[in-house]
Amino acid sequence: MNSRERLLIALEGGVPDRLPATTHHVLPYFLDKYLDGMDYQDFFDKFGLDPIRWVIPLKAGDNKRDYIDPQQGDPGFIEQKRIVSDEWKIECEELEDPKFEVKQYSFITPEDTLTMTIKSDEASSMVTEYLIKEKDDIELLGKYMPHPVCDNEEVNRTAKEFKDRGIVRGHIPTFDVFGQPGCWQDAACLVGIEELIMATFEDPAWVHELLSILQKRKLDFIKSMKGANYDLLELGGGHASTTIISPDIFNRFVAPYDSKLIEVAHQVGQRIVYHTCGGMMPILDDIAAMKPDAMETFTPPNMGGDVKNLAEAKERIGDKVCMIGGFDQYNYFNNCSPKETRDAVRNCFDQAGENGGYIMAPSDHFFDAELKLLEAYADEASKCRY
């Protein structure tokens, strides 16, 4: 089988020729530090992994009011094009900082200006000033925030060029500048997770209103995707893991909104993987009940998750979804022997690989890795045959 066939068969719950093995994103930080800035597709060839091509093309809708932000420049790593209008403009100011790149974004509307600040280093970024500071701020989002659609032609060009190398993957659009694909997870990036959790107790109606505003934007995008030749789209995010919220909050404020996105995605012929980096075992069956095609990341406890045994997860939901992830990249891409890495690969295969429907991958990103251990990871996966 070629890589595309292997990955698609696993996504459909079938049994490929061998264990599909890939990674989530290949971060520019890693490529620059360890591989002299190698192109990320060359990374897959170098290590013999099953390739994924990421593409997130947005364009303005047909209302003739919105347009691509001329101030953005070229989108960066997995960054989406920003769509603006004369009633929703985005301006950026770089703030002085001795150690970090700090940018403050202003979202300018006819009624008020909202600001959001992002701090970045060479490896990652974080919000240091949240956009929504007063509850009335969400009214500006509902009234003025553009609703982009999918550039299906660009997706299809990418898929045609990529051919059988692997699968084409994207994500449900996040809020501009910084966000996550899921409704709750996107809201957490705008409000702050602590404030959002408190609001579920103090003002749940306000939380539902915010989630509905974000959901409508995402639904409009998904509805435009009919005919886009994606193989897999990511939904979810870490702020809905049980490391952060309770199963009750998940079932009241996460599942009702994201399950609708999955339903509509299926109606337009798209597959969804639900991404949960953190605790997921208490809500494992709840996530599967939303009917995604796949679930990730199955993060082990020593990396901040709670999947002690992939076999338990496989037994509970393996007949409902494809499982992606589960590999401990922190302990087996660094400071161990190649044999230990190979044993970790074999352990994942033994626990989750039975009857197919499993794709080996690190449980989310990795920043640092010894090249000999990446080679052991890929090589051992190629030997895990059905």
In the chain, count H helices and then E strands: 15, 15
Using only the alpha carbons of the chain, give its radius of gyration. 20
Is 32 contained in some domain? yes
Q: What angle do CA 263, 177, 251 make, to 5 degrees?
A: 35
Is 127 contained in some domain? no
> Residue for token digits 């993957």?
169
Is 96 contained in some domain? no
Is 206 contained in some domain? yes
Instruction: Tell me the pLDDT tens digit for each residue of 40-55.
Output: 899 999 999 999 999 9
- What residue numbers bound the domain in which 55 lies? 3-59+147-382
Burial status of residue 271 (CB atoms within 10 A of its CB: 0-12, 13-18, 19 or more): buried
How does DSSP classify residue 268? Answer: T
Q: How far is residue 26 from each of residues 46, 51, 129, 156, 221, measured CA to CA in Å?
A: 13, 10, 28, 22, 26
Is 181 contained in some domain? yes
Phi, psi of 92 (to 5 degrees): -125, 135
Angle between helices 371-382 and 338-352 (to 10 degrees): 40
Q: pLDDT (tens digit, 0 to 9) for every residue of the chain, 386 residues total?
A: 999 999 999 999 999 999 999 999 899 999 999 999 999 899 999 999 999 999 999 999 877 799 999 888 777 766 788 999 999 999 999 999 999 999 999 999 999 999 999 999 988 899 999 999 999 999 999 999 999 999 999 999 999 999 999 999 999 999 999 999 999 999 999 999 999 999 999 999 999 999 999 999 999 999 999 999 999 999 999 999 999 999 999 999 999 999 999 999 999 999 999 999 999 999 999 999 999 999 999 999 989 999 999 999 999 999 999 999 999 999 999 999 999 999 999 999 999 999 999 999 999 889 999 999 999 999 999 999 99
**3-state DSSP call for residue 324?**
strand
Angle between helices 204-223 and 183-191 (to 10 degrees): 120
Decide: 248 and 206 in contact? Cβ < 8 Å. Answer: no
Is 196 contained in some domain? yes
| CATH number where 294 lies | 3.20.20.210
Q: Is 335 left (phi over 0), alpha (psi -120 to 50) or beta?
A: left
How does DSSP classify residue 251? Answer: I
Distant-in-sequence, close-in-space partners of 15: CB < 8 Å, separation ≥ 6: 9, 355, 356, 386
Decide: 92 and 116 in contact? Cβ < 8 Å. Answer: no
Is 90 contained in some domain? no
Half-sphere exposure in the Cβ direction for 256 (13 Å, CA): 10
Q: How far is residue 320 from each of residues 62, 236, 313, 356, 358, measured CA to CA in Å?
A: 38, 18, 11, 12, 12
* Beta-bridge partners for 68: 83
Half-sphere exposure in the Cβ direction for 77 (13 Å, CA): 14
pLDDT at 364: 86
What is the C-alpha to C-alpha distance for residues 224 and 313, in angstroms, rounded to an integer? Answer: 34
Total of domains in the chain: 1
Is 114 contained in some domain? no
How does DSSP classify residue 49? Answer: P
